[in-house]
Amino acid sequence: MTVTREELAAFADGELTGERAARVAAAVAADPALAGQVEAHHALRARLADHYAPFAAAPVPDRLTALLTREAEVVDFTEARERRETRRTVPRWSWIVGPALAASLALVLLRPGSGDDGAPYADPQLAAVLDSRLVAEQAPRADTRVLLSFRAQGGGFCRVFSGEGGGGIACRDEDGWRLEALGEGSAGAATDYRMAGASDADLLARAQEMAQGPALDAEAEAEAKANGWR
Amino acid sequence: MLDLLPRLRRFAAGLAGNPADGDDLCQMSLERALANRSRWQEGTRLDSWMYRIMRNIWIDEGRAGSRRRQTFVAEEAGARQGGDGAQEAAVELSYIDRAMQKLPDDQREAVLLVMVEGYAYKEAAEIVGCPVGTLNSRLVRGRDALMAMLGEAQ
């Protein structure tokens, strides 16, 4: 029975199992020369391990750890930049949204132009939403969502709404909710991370131009609703 | 990754033959790993992946020829050091270093991965990218060559 040098090394390194291991073990037990080789293998292994141990025990130079920690910072920078860039698209309307922005966006059922003449008014369904829905209280999956409410420069109340079928800005006047602006609205994916679509951003920017002061906060909005938006 | 660094430095120093070149190799490996981190598959071993990157860089560098020159210089420096007789501990250490440097790359990395880093043959073979049997025989050839060289020095 012969044992190859490879087998012997594998045996010494604990790589063999089962029958092969037993076979080599028996050969080693029967042959002092083989036993000596296994011992020499172990001795070399120990010597090399000792020799290289200090390299792993030595303190790691800063330039190497800095690579990793700097990289961690870079990741943070990336996130920070993304946050900054997100903010950068927002500023046009951020101040007006301020207090009211729990604003997530949504699906809309807008049928523009139910009015007889040129000035479109919200249809009864949309009007009902605009009349009753408070930004703070609407369901996340509401078909039409009110993004915010504000007081226009003329003094009347306006509301920005958004939904699947379109979005816009409606201002309350004597006759109802007059549609001041229309946008595309946003597809309201029912996730926790609703993002304002570009058209919503445009609407909000437009709202900011129309508004006097920031958007209504929840309390002011509730009060405006109680007064019929007049 | 930070926890891996000491071991990576050890492997790098073993491949490169001295700590300074080892740290350069280590730095290149970290940079490449960070640049390619999207390729690391979650759930696989980070250490094996890092070792593989490092040995690939080492092999590439060797092919580029720059390492041959460095090794030559390092050996000369080691020999001069031995001539001083003043730093016996360093000389003693350098026997192993120099013996390791005389091994072919494939044998040296097999010896380092198994006998120093403690990888199983299968893991070492995966890092190197060869069959287990090949790894086994490289290890044996490297080991025998080392024993022959170090046996004289003992």
Select the residue from B3, B4, B5 to test the A interface by mutation, using most A Cβ atoms within 10 A: B5
Same domain, A85 and A182: no
- Asked if A106 contacts A168 with a C-beta cutoff of 8 angstroms, the reply is no
Same domain, A194 and A127: yes
Q: Which domains does chain B possess? A: 5-153 (1.20.140.160)
Judge if A180 and A213 occupy the same domain. yes
Give the DSSP H/E element, type plus range, for residue A167: strand A167-173
What is the SS3 assignment for A134? coil
Judged by CB atoms within 8 Å, which residues 44-63 of A form the interface with B? 44-45, 47-49, 51-53, 55-58, 60-61, 63
- Residue A39, chain B, CB below 8 Å: the answer is no
Same domain, A99 and A84: no
Considering only CA atoms, which of B61, B54, B62 is closest in space to residue B27? B54
* Same domain? A154 vs A139: yes
Residue type at A119 in one-letter notation: A
Q: How many domains does chain A have?
A: 3
- Which three-class secondary structure state does DSSP give residue A181? strand
Q: Please determine, for residue A58, whether its predicted confidence score (pLDDT) is greater than 70.
A: yes
- Chain-chain contact of B31 with A67 (C-beta, under 8 angstroms): yes
Q: What is chain B's alpha carbon radius of gyration, rounded to the nearest angstrom? A: 16
The reply to whether A121 and A218 lie within a common domain is yes
Mean pLDDT of A188-200: 45
- Residue A83 class from Cβ within 10 Å (0-12 exposed, 13-18 middle, 19+ buried)? exposed
What's the pLDDT band for B81 if we cut at 50, 70, 90?
A: very low
**How many Å lie between the alpha carbon of B11 and the closest alpha carbon of chain A?**
8
**pLDDT one-digit tens code per residue, A120-164:** 788 888 888 899 888 888 776 677 788 888 998 888 999 988 876
Instruction: Provide the pLDDT confidence category of residue A111 given band limits of 50, 70 and 90.
Output: very low
Structure-token pair, residue A188: 């309201």
CA B113 to chain centre: 8
The pTM of this model reads 0.53
Asked if A44 and A77 sit in the same domain, the reply is no
